[in-house]
Structure 1
């Protein structure tokens, strides 16, 4: 992986969803790492730096809200986060933003939609 390649952590308990998001991101030239829940994701943030987080809401052990609150609670420079969920109500969106998400997408996510938001949050032109 070259040093200019942006590294994205995909956090979702469904392996098929992680693979789907990973294939979209890697095809667009991003590096991707996977975690099956918020606890595993927090552990991965201790040993690697990520440029963006793609986080599911409903997961065992630690949900997406808990992961983002723990991550944002550390302070310091923070990478942007996109919350992705089957929950599409306004209340869910507000909870995600309050937990520290920069954007909220409802599943299923279209590849072009995901890449547009990722590009914008990473400072590129969509």
Structure 2
């Protein structure tokens, strides 16, 4: 079963994404901020990361840069943010994001972006 880590400081957002992903059959873990997420990722890498930009202690950009610099198997990350400017997308890509979604994300939209990054065919 594929493991996904949701990094977001908003409990409601984590719960919303968790429910969508668990209903689709994924194992989901959560992190409140980038530092907590990095600790979890280094203990046991995930198959996918959903990363909010604005998190305390270490923001989403910093988390991805740190993650990408580690000598571990690199897996995809989707940056999910309320920030919709092109420069935000470019900064996310530069930090190591494979995809970028703007909140709020509809369940079918989230799964349409998650499945290909996990090597699954959308149904």
Q: TM-score, normalised by structure 2?
A: 0.97
Task: Answer yes or no: is 1:49 the counterpart of 2:45.
Answer: yes
Provide the aligned length of Structure 1 versus Structure 2.
122
Gaps of 5+ in 1: none
Give the root-mean-square deviation of aligned CA atoms.
0.8
Gaps of 5+ in 2: none
Bigger mean CA deviation after superposition, 54-63 or 73-82: 73-82
1:34 to partner: Cα distance = 0.1
Q: Matches of residues 41-120 of structure 1 in structure 2 within 5 Å?
A: 41-120=37-116
- 4+ residue segments displaced more than 4 Å: none
Q: 2:5 aligns with which of 9, 14, 34?
A: 9
Q: TM-score, normalised by structure 1?
A: 0.94
